[in-house]
Amino acid sequence: MLLQGAMALAVIGIAAVPAAPLVAQSATAPHTAVSSLPDYQLEVGVTWDATLSNATTSSKFWMQGGTVEAQGRFCCGLGLVADVAGAHIMTINSSGVGLDMVTATFGPRYTWTLGRKRYGLFAQGLVGIVNGFNSVAVARRYENSSGVR
């Protein structure tokens, strides 16, 4: 397997925050004000990704894929986020060799909402794994201290 066990790290970006939290309300209390709703909410996003990559040479190639991300916000903009992404290319620069990659990351996120809670800025720190497969990888050779393989 290629790239197994690699670490993925921090991302800073902008997110669209739903106008209303995803919480259940009682049918017997339709007059409940938005300000009395709990501070927690769940947000889910699905995106398409295009990733510009390069092989060990200067030639570059595009990988296509998608991402599913879920965030649970608990209090004061703090929450946890999980992200699973996949990318694929059938053949790298007409070489006949393809590549598939799947990443799974998770970690904390702080979201600062802007005007009327419609948009927000977030900062997050994610760690996880990357698994590459359906490709060709150079085999590693391990030697002990005396040089014996």
Contacts of 29 (CB under 8 A, 6+ apart): none
Identify the residue whose tokens are 């209390």.
Answer: 29
pLDDT at residue 94 in the model: 82
The encoded tokens of residue 143 equal: 């030697």
pTM value is 0.63
Residue 112 lies in a domain: yes
- Number of domains comprising the chain: 1
What pLDDT is stored for residue 143 in this prediction? 56
Q: What is the pLDDT of residue 24?
A: 38
**What does the pLDDT read at residue 96?**
86
Q: Which amino acid is at 73?
A: R
| Residue 139 lies inside a defined structural domain of this protein | no
> Is 114 contained in some domain?
yes
DSSP structure string for 96-121: S--EEEEEEEEEEEEEEEEGGGTEEE
Q: Which domain holds residue 62?
A: 11-17+38-133
Instruction: Return the structure tokens found at 111.
Output: 């979201």
Blockwise average pLDDT, block size 10, the chain, 149 residues: 36 40 41 52 93 76 94 91 96 87 96 83 95 76 57
